[in-house]
Amino acid sequence: MTGKRTWWHTPVAIGLTAVMLFPIYWMINVSFTRGQDMRKSPPNWFPVHGTLDGYRAVLDQQLPYLGTSVVVGLGTVALTLILSAPAGYAMAKLRPAGGGVLSFVLLIAQMIPGVIMAMGFYAIYLAVGVVNTVPGLILADSTIAVPFGVLVFTAFMSGIPEELVEAAEIDGAGYLRTFWSIVLPLSRNAIVTVSLFAFLWAWSDFVFASTLDQGGDHQPITLGIYHYIGNNNQEWNAIMATAVVASIPATVLLLAAQRYVTAGVTAGAIKE
Amino acid sequence: MDHTTRRRARQQWAAWAFLAPVVVYLIVFYAYPLYRNLDLSLHDYTVRSFVQGGARFTGLDNYRAVLHDPSFAPALLHTAVFTLTSLAFQFAIGMALAVFFRQRFRLSGTLRALFLVPWLLPLIVSASTWSWMLNSDSGVVNSVLHTLGLSPINWLTSPSWSLASVTIANIWIGIPFNLVLLHSGLESIPANIEEAAALDGARPWQRFWWITFPLLRPVSAITLLLGLIYTLKVFDIIWIMTRGGPADSSTTLATWSYRLGFGNLLPAFSPGATVGNLLIVLALIFGLIYIRAQRRQNQP
C-alpha cells in the first residue's frame, strides 16, 4: 500500500497458496498411489511407493474421450469466433440502432442456468436427431461462450482508434474489408481471450455432455471421469490420474496466457 | 437524401449484416430452447408425447404441483443456504487475499496467478477430488481430524453434513473469481488517498474500513451479484459429489430440476422444466439488479 516491503509477506503468501492448492496436490498424490495403499490409514502424504498404474489406465481407456474433448473444444472455439467477432465489430464501430437492447440480451443470456438450457436442447435435439452427436454438443457448448465473446470483442474493438477505421474507409475499403484487414488483426488479444475461455468451458462442460451426449459413441473426458466414478470404481488412482490429465489444458493455458485469463475474468464484469 | 444520411443508412445495413449471425443464433439456440422449456412446463409431457407430440395442455398445473411438492421447500432452503454461505465466505476470503496481494512483494504476481488454478479446473475434476478427500473411511480430511483427536465425520453420506461439504468445495472454487475482481478493483483506487490517511495517522485496519472498503463498494456489489447469479446455477459440483443426497439433504433447485428431467429412469420433463423456469426467474431478478448496479458504476 505504501510500497514498504516487509520480509514476512512472501513466506505467508507461499503458505496461503499451499493451503489453497492442497486439493490439487492431493489429486496428483493419489494419482500415483498404489491400489493397496489407497485405503491405508493414515494415508501416504507423498507418493512413496509411486506407481504409474493410474496413468496406464488413462492411456488404455481414456484416450478416445480426450480426443473427443479436443475436437469439441476446437469446434466450440471456431464457432464462437465466427459468430462473435463480426458482431463485436458491428457493436463497437457501426453504432447499430438497437445495439443497446442486444447487449442487454447478451448479458441476460449469460445468466441462464445451463441445466435449464439443457432441457430445452434435449427436446429439440431429439426432434432433429442430433442427440449424442459431436456437432450437437459443439452447438450446445458454444452457447456458454458466444455472449461472453460478443461482449469481450465489443469492449476491445471500442478501444481501436476511430481514425484507423476512417482512414481505411477513405482508402475505399468496404466494411467487410475494414473488419478483415484492419480491425481483426488489431484484435489479437481479444481473439486469444475469447478462444481460451471458449476452449476451457467446452473442455470442462459436464451439464450438456451428460444430458445431450449420454449415449453417444464419442463422449468427452468429463463423461469419462463421471463413468469412472459412477461405476463404483474403487481405483481412485485411475480416476485421479484422469483428473490430472483433464486439468492439463487449464494449467497450460494459465501458464502460457495468464494475462489473458485475468483479462477475461474482469472483462465480463467490470467493462461493458 | 444527402450524403451523410445515405452513408448512415448504409452503415446501419452493414451493422445488422454483421450482427445477423449472432441474432439468428440467439433466436435458435437461446430463445427457442427457452420457449420449448416454457412449453414443457405448461403441458403434461410423458416420455411418449415427448417424442411423438400431442401432450395435454395443463396451464399452471405443473407450477402448482411443484410449489406443493414436499421437495420444494427444502430445495429452496438448500439453494438459499448454499448460495449465501458460499458468497459470504468467498467474498470475505477473496477480499482478505486481494488486500494482502495488493502489497507488492517478491513472487506476489506468480502466487496470485496460482490462486486462479482451482477456478479454471473442470468442475468434475474439483468435485471428484473433493469427494475422495472427504471420503468417510479413507479421506485425508478425516485422517487429519483423527490425528487431532476428533471423531470422523461422514461428510458426504450423512444428511446433516452433505450440504456443508458441497458448500466447502464450492467456496474453494469461487475464491479465485472474487480475488481477481476485488484485486483489480483495489488497483483502480489511487494510492495517494490511503497514503494521505496514513500520514494523518490512520491505522491499517481503520484505513481499510473507512477508506478502501467504501471506495470499493461498487466493485463489491458487482462481485457479489455476479457470484450470486453463478452460485444459483451451480449444479455440477453438487450432482457429482452427492447427487443431491442422501435423502435430498443437499438438493437445490438446480439439481432437483436435473434429477426430474434426466436423473431417473423415467424422466419427468414437465416438472423438471417447471422447476428450471422458477430458477430462471430467480436468476433474472438478481441479473436485472446486477445490470442496474453495473450501469450506475459506469456512469458516476
Indicate whether B299 pLDDT > 70: no
Per-residue pLDDT, B269? 85
Distance from CA of B160 to the nearest CA of A (A): 23
CB atoms B132 and A9 under 8 Å: no
Q: pLDDT band at B189, cuts 50/70/90?
A: confident
- The residues, any chain, with a CB within 8 Å of residue A272's CB and separated by 6 or more, are A103, A151, A155, B294, B298
Percent of residues, chain A, with pLDDT higher than 90: 43
Tell me the per-residue pLDDT of A94-148, one tens digit each, with 9 for 90 and over. Answer: 889 888 899 888 888 888 888 888 988 988 898 888 999 999 999 999 998 999 9
CB atoms A2 and B198 under 8 Å: yes
Could you tell me the pTM of the whole model?
0.89
A&B contacts, CB < 8 Å:
300
Tell me the per-residue pLDDT of B57-83, one tens digit each, with 9 for 90 and over. Answer: 888 888 998 899 999 999 999 999 999
Choose among B17, B122, B276: nearest Cβ to A203: B122
Q: How much is the mean pLDDT over chain A? A: 87
Per-residue pLDDT, A270? 43
Tell me the per-residue pLDDT of A168-206, one tens digit each, with 9 for 90 and over. Answer: 878 887 888 989 988 999 998 889 989 998 999 999 999
| Chain A contacts in chain B segment 273-292 (CB below 8 A) | 273, 276-277, 279-280, 283-284, 286-287, 290-291
Using DSSP's 3-state secondary structure scheme, residue B122 falls into: coil
Choose among B33, B50, B105: nearest Cβ to A117: B33
Indicate whether A271 pLDDT > 50: no
Choose among A106, A210, A247: nearest Cβ to B125: A247
Q: pLDDT band at A72, cuts 50/70/90?
A: very high
Q: Does B155 touch chain A (CB under 8 A)?
A: no
Q: pLDDT band at B90, cuts 50/70/90?
A: very high
Distance from CA of B36 to the nearest CA of A (A): 5
- Residues of A within 8 A of B259 (CB-CB) are none
- Residues of B within 8 A of A94 (CB-CB) are 11-12, 14-15, 18
Residue of B nearest to A90 (CA): B15
Q: pLDDT band at A165, cuts 50/70/90?
A: confident
* Cell output for A90: 458491428
Question: How many other β-carbons are positioned within 10 Å of the β-carbon of residue B39?
Answer: 16
Residue of B nearest to A39 (CA): B138
Q: Does B3 touch chain A (CB under 8 A)?
A: no
Tell me the per-residue pLDDT of B218-277, one tens digit each, with 9 for 90 and over. Answer: 889 888 988 888 898 889 999 999 998 798 999 999 999 999 988 877 788 889 899 999
Mean pLDDT, residues A45-74 taken together:
90
| Residues making up chain A, counted from first to last | 272
Indicate whether B300 pLDDT > 80: no
The structural domains of chain B, ordered by start, are 1-59 (no CATH), 70-298 (1.10.3720.10)
- Residues of A within 8 A of B172 (CB-CB) are 20, 23
Per-residue pLDDT, A2? 44
Per-residue pLDDT, A5? 57
CB atoms A261 and B129 under 8 Å: no
- Residues of B within 8 A of A90 (CB-CB) are 14-19
Find out whether B249 and B163 touch, Cβ atoms under 8 Å: yes
Q: SS3 for chain A, per residue?
A: CCCCCCCCHHHHHHHHHHHHHHHHHHHHHHHCCCHHHCCCCCCCCCCCCCCCHHHHHHHHHCHHHHHHHHHHHHHHHHHHHHHHHHHHHHHHHCCCCCHHHHHHHHHHHCCCCHHHHHHHHHHHHHHHCCCCCHHHHHHHHHHHHHHHHHHHHHHHHHCCCHHHHHHHHHCCCCHHHHHHHHHHHHCHHHHHHHHHHHHHHHHHCCHHHHHHCCCCCCCCHHHHHHHHHHCCCCCHHHHHHHHHHHHHHHHHHHHHCHHHHHHHHHHCCCCC
Choose among B15, B35, B130: nearest Cβ to A94: B15
Q: Does B196 touch chain A (CB under 8 A)?
A: no
CB atoms B125 and A27 under 8 Å: yes
Per-residue pLDDT, A220? 94
| Chain A contacts in chain B segment 26-45 (CB below 8 A) | 26, 29-30, 32-37, 40
Per-residue pLDDT, A210? 92
Tell me the per-residue pLDDT of A210-256, one tens digit each, with 9 for 90 and over. Answer: 999 888 889 999 999 998 887 766 788 899 999 999 999 888 887 77
* Cell output for B212: 478502501
Torsion of CA B194, B198, B201, B203, to 10 degrees: 80
Indicate whether A80 pLDDT > 90: yes
Per-residue pLDDT, A4? 53
Q: pLDDT band at A22, cuts 50/70/90?
A: very high
Choose among B50, B104, B116: nearest Cβ to A261: B116
Per-residue pLDDT, A266? 66
Q: How much is the mean pLDDT over chain B? A: 88
Q: Does B269 touch chain A (CB under 8 A)?
A: yes
CB atoms B105 and A9 under 8 Å: yes
Choose among A114, A122, A236: nearest Cβ to B233: A114
CB atoms A250 and B121 under 8 Å: yes
Mean pLDDT, residues B197-213 taken together:
84
Mean pLDDT, residues B150-175 taken together:
94
Indicate whether A1 pLDDT > 50: no
The structural domains of chain A, ordered by start, are 54-267 (1.10.3720.10)
Per-residue pLDDT, A265? 67
Q: Does B262 touch chain A (CB under 8 A)?
A: yes
Per-residue pLDDT, A90? 94
Choose among A108, A142, A272: nearest Cβ to B287: A108
Indicate whether B1 pLDDT > 60: no
- How far, in Å, CA of B162 to CA of B238, rounded? 9
